[in-house]
Chain A
């Protein structure tokens, strides 16, 4: 295949609908976090996570019902509504 032809193939393989950078970073972040948890569990089996294990007991007795997950969702929704109002009103 000539150089001219391979150049055209390269052009043909060029993606036109790349995912946005924010999504790429989010996915990398999630994968990295999960990998870290797995590796930590293999290297230090049965040991508490640093920092997080000392923060979580503070919430013991507070978030002891499943309703808090739903209320958290509603709070995120409330902030989403507030955020939408503010950003839509101020966007250029």
Chain B
């Protein structure tokens, strides 16, 4: 029996993880009894008073916390897209930036991908997740955020930690300092402060928390619990343990949080009630019980962030079976999330409600991409776990696709939905927001798809032991990187649109007439019997009002060009 427990690395870590999650849930629901009041007071003291004069730097206005997180996330969107674009370019033209070597910088494609992933995952996606969560959770609990001041101040520390992580991705050590570990340490301090802030907010309310709120909470607490589980199990120096913790962090902080904020935003943005509470429950349960396959097959990012020494992934037969089974089960919460978002956005018919509203197209796009990429990731992860490694050549590009066509669209969509509520103003132009959406999503999907085709071609040639490089693969890679530049442009458009909107956007209280911001006519005068085809051909959309204009029996007369004065 003991031999089985020692051999089965995956289940031993997961059992600890499940127990810790269950204990956390019980504590959150039942409280700490007589210690509750003391802990609450102490936590509040740590969140505000301990900061000393730092707390006086910010006003702590309602909504300021989420807004600052989201705004900084938008800046990271631009930076991450630029870094990823340069990484894609250097993959086909490694000497493109050789002139920078005069400054002592040697840009390499893989390092720029790595920097881009840090900027995208922790800068953009992470800040959107936390920022929107800081608005959504108090809203669901019908209370105020425990400390807006702390939320504002910690956002800047988080940004500094991401800058350190990006620097660390290029140069792991500066002198004796492990830069990535330093960045992770700073990141964790902020993470703990955000968790404390959110739990304190929950403790101050007696309202039953809706499912998206639980997803956000489990997303936040799941990250440290996954790391604690790894160290408690003692499997931190095994390749399998490192692989698993990478996926547990991905399942909790990224997947669970994104599920929470996108389900809330889909419902809030469309005005429709959440399609199914039960299906949302499946997302929570499935996320925590299974192993989410999304992400890279190589867990280097988690290894570097935890300061561990990389080990080879050696899985026993039992681990292989347990891991593959639990990953296959993870398709359930992925399908549940995708279907719940898509149907909530559509309400009672097949058309997306408020399709012109900034953020809705992003959420729709991200939800569509969940299932195909989830299944593709499942193939790659089972291939890695079984040690076959036939698909490892496309693991990196699939990871990038997951980030750019699922994580970023869903979090960006949620951020675009939440920002008007916290800032009081809509983005400056809905047209520019839509243009940015098309550039961002089309650039990412098409650009990365072409790069994936190139990766597949290279893998096949490598297997066939063909030494000559393929010109087709090179051309595809080149085209892919150029098309991905649309993502950079989309990020720029989103940034300028949102920043201008903060000052000059339509006020939320006045309401936004979406039809005025589109090219579609607001109304269509119906003068005689016509077909729906003719109405649609005139440029009308589903939201255009058809106004009957009745005929007059008055006798006609020449039209006057100028009226006499």
Contacts and interface: CB of A to CB of B under 8 A. Distances in A.
Interface of A: 8, 12, 61-67, 70-71, 73-74, 77-78, 80-81, 84-85, 88-89, 91
A70 B89 contact: yes
Contacts of B562: 8, 12
Nearest to A80: B496
B96 A88 contact: no
Q: Which of B85, B496, B504 has the most CB of A within 10 A?
A: B496
B238 to A, nearest CB: 41
A70 B483 CA distance: 11
19 contacts: A64-B99, A65-B93, A66-B96, A67-B90, A67-B93, A70-B482, A70-B488, A71-B86, A73-B485, A73-B489, A77-B489, A77-B495, A80-B496, A81-B78, A81-B495, A84-B495, A88-B499, A88-B502, A88-B504
B492 interface: yes
A-B pairs with the 4 shortest C-beta distances?
A: A77-B492, A65-B96, A88-B503, A67-B96
B500 interface: yes
B546 interface: no
Contacts of A91: 503
Contacts of A84: 495-496, 499-500
A78 to B, nearest CB: 7
A48 B488 CA distance: 36
A66 B485 CA distance: 13
A86 B274 CA distance: 40
A65 B96 CA distance: 5
Nearest to B499: A84
Contacts of A12: 562
A61 B95 CA distance: 11
B499 A85 contact: yes
Contact of B492 (A61, A65, A67, A80): A80
B163 to A, nearest CB: 15
A78 B492 CA distance: 7
B503 A74 contact: no
Contacts of B78: 77-78, 81
Given A8-B562, A70-B485, A74-B488, A61 B500 contact: no
Q: Which of A61, A78, A84 has the most CB of B within 10 A?
A: A84
A71 B499 CA distance: 22
Nearest to B100: A62
A11 to B, nearest CB: 9
B75 A81 contact: yes
Contacts of A80: 492, 496
A74 B488 CA distance: 7
Nearest to B74: A81
Contacts of B485: 70, 73
Nearest to B85: A70
A66 to B, nearest CB: 8
A77 B93 contact: no
Contacts of B482: 70
A45 to B, nearest CB: 33
Contacts of A88: 499-500, 502-504
Contacts of A73: 485, 488-489
A91 to B, nearest CB: 7
Nearest to A75: B82
Nearest to B502: A88
